Amino acid sequence: QGAVPGIQLAHAGRKASMSRPWEGNKKLSEEGEGWQTEAPSAIPYADSYPLPTEMSVADIAQCVKDFAAAAQRAIDAGFKVIELHAAHGYLINQFLSPLSNQRTDDYGSSFGSRIRFLLEIVKAVRNVIGNDIPLFVRISATEWVEGGWTIEDSIALAKILKEISVDLIDCSSGGNSREQKIEVGPLYQTPLAAQVKKATSIMTAAVGMITTAEEAEGIIAEEKADLVFMARQMLRDPYFALGAAKTLNSETHWPVQYERSK
């Protein structure tokens, strides 16, 4: 009925081979359903997580190809927006962070080397999807840990991503270290999107504890971000968008099945 489908492509890296959160988030046995995880360096996320193997250069090259192949499958399936998940301690984020990437080759040891994996993925995916499909990148704009990835790093990365045809930076945070210290509250990550947007002029999305129509409208009206992404609020209230439109006195499309509920 006119909805635009988008998909997020991710690789869990060292956070993989774990049971579902609602099943205890426990390490899976390799003799059972588990598998050997991989990461930029052989550093586990936590003692309760599997010890990953360090990816070889050949492994990295194959993973870049796998992301491109996944993007092609997404386009073939009819998706109209692609987002690369480079946040929350998953594989791409693991390469970006000096806390989890302690390599000494061309994929580690410096800012330019640590972002190389992501840049290669972006270029490979863009080559597959062409110029007409929006390409977003979700990042942890800060790790909230001393010595970790910072908002300044994110701004520097965003400038480069803009140059290689990324359309929007989805600004989340954290997830790569158990040592993170986050003061969580309403709109707590919105300033990150605002900082990246102001410093780079790339489009950004604000996320994180945005739960009302007024909050979302304020973010856009005050030009703190170009889009607002919601997840948990939409899970709590699948019809949030319809209620938000009513709150803001905005006309919106209702699915024909629900028009009698207006």
What are the start-end ranges of the H helices in the chain?
Answer: 57-77, 91-96, 111-114, 116-129, 151-163, 190-200, 213-221, 232-236, 240-247
Q: How many CB atoms lie within 10 A of CB 94?
A: 28
Phi–psi pair at 123, nearest 5 degrees: -65, -40
156 by Cβ neighbours in 10 Å (0-12 / 13-18 / 19+) ranks as middle
Residue 258: active-site member: no
45, 49, 90, 107: which one is catalytic? 90
Q: How far apart are CA 103 and CA 74, in angstroms?
A: 32
Q: How far apart are CA 248 and CA 30, in angstroms?
A: 52
Nearest to 220 by CA among 250, 247, 194, 252: 194
Residue pair 167/180 in contact (Cβ under 8 Å)? The answer is no
Nearest to 192 by CA among 122, 121, 144: 144
Cite the active site residues.
90
